[in-house]
Each structure stands twice: as C-alpha cells, then as structure tokens.
C-alpha cells in the first residue's frame, strides 16, 4: 500500500508564529476596532496627524486594512482616519472602509463600544462587513508557505498554464502557475478575497444558495457587454454539475466566476447565489490567466496542503496506478484489467456488469492492443470520499480498430486501492 501523505495547514501555522511575535493577531482576528476605538477616544488629540506614506496594494485592500487596524490598536486614530480616507479615494464604493471611517469620526466625540456604531447601522450589514474584515486580514497574514502546495494539484497538462484553488472557509482564491520547467510543480502566484454562496458550500440542488465543491474547469468567457451589471467586469462559467456531481445526484447550473456591480467594490463573504465572486479589479487580474476549456477550478471547503516531498510521492503513486491500468488493458487479460474498476462503476450508459461483459466480448477478437496516453492531468477531488479526476488524450490501436479520444476517469480509493468508478469522453 502506498504511504499516506500527511496533510498540513501551513497558513495557520504561519499566523500562529506571527501572533506570538506581536500579540496582535488574536485581537485583529476578532476585529479590534470596538475596543481600540473606545480606548483611543479617551486620549485622541484634535491636533492634525502626521502625514503617512500611503500605498494601496494592486491585489486588494488587505495591506491597507492591516495598517488601519494597527493604527487603531495603537490609539493613533488620526493616522487611521488618514489611511481610511486614502483607501476610499482608491475605492469610493468600498462599504467596509466607509463604516470604519464613520466609527473613526464618531470616536472623536464619544467612546465607541461596537464596530459600526455610526447612525445605528443595521446589525446584519455590520456583521457582513465585520466578517469581510476578518477574512481579509486573515488572508493577508496567512500566505501559503513556499514548500507546500494544494493537495489537489497533483498533475497539470503541459498546456494548462494556471490553476485556481478556492478555499470557501477562508473566502480566498489561490492562483497557481504550472511550472513546467520545474517538473510541473504548482507555483503560487497570488491570492484574492472571494464571495461564496449565501448558505456556504457543498451545493446539492438548484436554488440552494450554495457554492459547489469539486474539480471543475472554465467553459466560457462572457464579456461585460453581454452581462447584467450584477456580474461586473466579466464572467467565466464552470462545468457544474460535472460527471461526479451527476452520479451523486447533485442538481443546479449557472455557477460562474464573476465580478461585482458597478456601484459596489466588494460583497460580503457569503452573499452570492452560489457563484464565486471577486472584485472587478481582481477578476480582471485573474482573467488574464484563464484558458477556456483548460483552466482547472478546484473548489474546497478547506484547502489541504502537502509538502513538496509528499506531493511528489502521491503524484508518482497515482501515475504508477494509471500506467498499470494501461498495461493491463494492453495485456488483453480481461480479468486483470477489470480489477482496476470498482463494482460501483458507472459510465454514461453502463454499470459494472454491462461494462465487464462488453470488454470480455471485445477482447475475444483482439490479437494485440497498444494504448498511449498523453497530456495527462490528475486532480484530487476535495469532497468527502477519496477521489481523483484523471484526464488524458488516448491513442488506442489494435488489429481491428484504431481511435483517438480525450477521456476522463474518476478513481475512488476503496479498501486502500484506487479503482475507476466513472469513465467517459471528456
């Protein structure tokens, strides 16, 4: 049996170290604004604050928000207000920044006991903005470590230049490059704040307001001109429901990566009908790297991370398993070949018994078989069962039939062994 890789959570480990150094991570994670503002209001000076250098990250406001809350924690409300106003100059429709500005202005005249105290802001709206601040700051501090990669990206095809991994728990989208020169190792490029479904992840039926979990790919590029304003600067549909979703009885459609309305900079972490939503500037940045029909989009409840050694070991073990299936097909030993298939196997038209009977009949007329696999991709599915999605170009040759096709298989681990549970054209 192959050695089982130990999954890690290196981003959380990084955050813990930072907290020990500064003592501020825990308070920031709880959004320190209420306590910091209330305390600072007692000592705030009316003198103008010293002008601070302002830099707003092109990839989002996280760095600026971190500076703002650091100033609040240090009771430097004038500096915090200055940074907030600069952020609003950059993003005039940013509701979280407007809320922080309101609290900072109110703190000049009275103690602030709650975040979003200005003008009796609606509790649900304040809760949404608080949740956004927490996940943005968490994402800013907890970057993936260089020697860890998402477990799902085991092997990309050479022409798949980038892959997307979404962590719904962290409201984060990670962009990885296929480092072909380095053996196809996934290389971290950037990460972005995202909005998911109103009711979270693991979509099951049409209209359940949830984001699906699984291995998908981009199927189209819909430009702004063809879309309602709700979808922002563009949209990229994905292939939900995929073959595995359909086998599991999952329903629904219309799951896209898309932007935000023109009057909104960002939406709360849970606000869509199931789509993955980015700010328009982030969608535009990600869009440059998307390939219709190629770019994988893997959506997880909580990303599992592997060390590079464990990643290479898991990838190699699966490649050996796939090659053993190919070799056993060439052997024309039907029983040996069928051992690679689960008794739960289903294709679009056959169950296991029907598939086995057909293979025995076909192999009876074969004198030789040669099978070549190219452009192989292997992605681990983030669902509850251990499943990998394998896609390749298949060149099949025999004494009485030659054909080429793009094939997709779903392999399920049963009793410690990988078995094919679905197979069909891709």
Contact 36, 73 (CB under 8 A): yes
Helix axes 62-73, 77-90, angle to 10 degrees: 160
Q: How do strand 270-272 and strand 196-197 relate by DSSP bridges?
A: parallel
Other C-beta atoms lying within 10 Å of the C-beta of residue 188 = 17
Question: How far is CA 80 from each of CA 40, 49, 101, 102, 241, rounded to the nearest angstrom?
Answer: 11, 9, 9, 12, 46
Residues 6+ apart with CB under 8 A from 235: 222, 227, 256, 257, 258, 259
H helices of 8-122, in order, are: 10-22, 25-29, 33-43, 62-73, 77-90, 95-106
DSSP labels, 31-56? --HHHHHHHHHHH--SSPPPP-----
Q: How many residues would you count in the chain?
A: 426
* Residue 314, both tokens: 């898991």
Other C-beta atoms lying within 10 Å of the C-beta of residue 248 = 13
Rounded CA-CA distance 107/295 in Å is: 48
- Produce one character per residue of 109-138: b if its CB has 16 or more CB atoms within 10 Å, e if not: eeebeebbbbeebeeeebebbbbbbbbbbb
Active site residues: 258, 275
390: helix, coil or strand? strand
Rounded CA-CA distance 51/83 in Å is: 9
* Residue 365, both tokens: 């007329």
């Amino acid at each position: 049996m192959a050695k089982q890789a130990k999954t890690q959570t290196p981003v959380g480990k990084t955050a813990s170290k930072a907290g020990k150094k500064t003592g501020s991570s825990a308070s920031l994670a709880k959004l320190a604004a209420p306590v910091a503002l209330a305390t600072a209001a007692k000592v705030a000076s009316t003198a103008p604050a010293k002008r601070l250098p302002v830099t707003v990250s092109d990839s989002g406001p996280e760095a600026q928000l971190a500076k703002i809350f650091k100033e609040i924690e240090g009771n430097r409300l004038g500096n915090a207000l200055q940074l907030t106003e600069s952020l609003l100059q950059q993003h005039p429709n940013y509701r979280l920044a407007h809320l922080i500005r309101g609290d900072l202005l109110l703190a000049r005249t009275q103690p602030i006991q709650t975040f979003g105290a200005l003008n009796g802001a609606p509790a649900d709206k304040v809760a949404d903005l608080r949740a956004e601040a927490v996940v943005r700051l968490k994402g800013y501090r907890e970057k993936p470590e260089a020697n860890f990669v998402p477990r799902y990206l085991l092997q990309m095809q050479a022409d798949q230049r980038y892959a997307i991994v979404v962590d719904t728990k962290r409201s984060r989208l990670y962009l990885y490059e296929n480092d072909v020169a380095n053996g196809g190792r996934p290389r971290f490029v950037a990460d972005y704040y995202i909005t998911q479904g109103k009711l979270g992840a693991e979509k099951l039926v049409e209209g359940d307001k949830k984001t699906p979990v699984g291995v998908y790919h981009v199927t189209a590029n819909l430009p702004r001109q063809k879309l309602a304003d709700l979808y922002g600067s563009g949209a990229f549909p994905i292939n939900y429901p995929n073959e595995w979703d359909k086998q599991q009885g999952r329903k629904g459609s219309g799951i896209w990566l898309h932007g935000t309305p023109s009057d909104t900079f960002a939406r709360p972490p849970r606000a869509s009908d199931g789509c993955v939503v980015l700010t328009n500037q982030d969608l535009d940045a990600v869009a440059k790297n998307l390939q219709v029909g190629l770019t994988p989009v893997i959506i997880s409840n909580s990303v599992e991370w592997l060390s590079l050694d464990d990643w290479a070991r898991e990838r190699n073990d699966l490649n050996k398993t796939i090659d053993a299936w190919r070799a056993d097909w060439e052997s024309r030993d039907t029983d040996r070949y069928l051992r690679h298939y689960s008794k739960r196997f289903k294709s679009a038209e056959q169950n296991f018994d029907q598939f086995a009977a057909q293979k025995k009949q076909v192999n009876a007329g074969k004198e030789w078989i040669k099978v070549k696999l190219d452009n192989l991709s292997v992605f681990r599915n983030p669902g509850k069962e251990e499943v990998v999605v394998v896609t390749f170009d298949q060149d099949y040759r025999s004494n009485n039939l030659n054909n080429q096709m793009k094939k997709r298989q779903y392999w399920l681990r049963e009793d410690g062994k990988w078995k094919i549970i679905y197979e069909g054209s891709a």
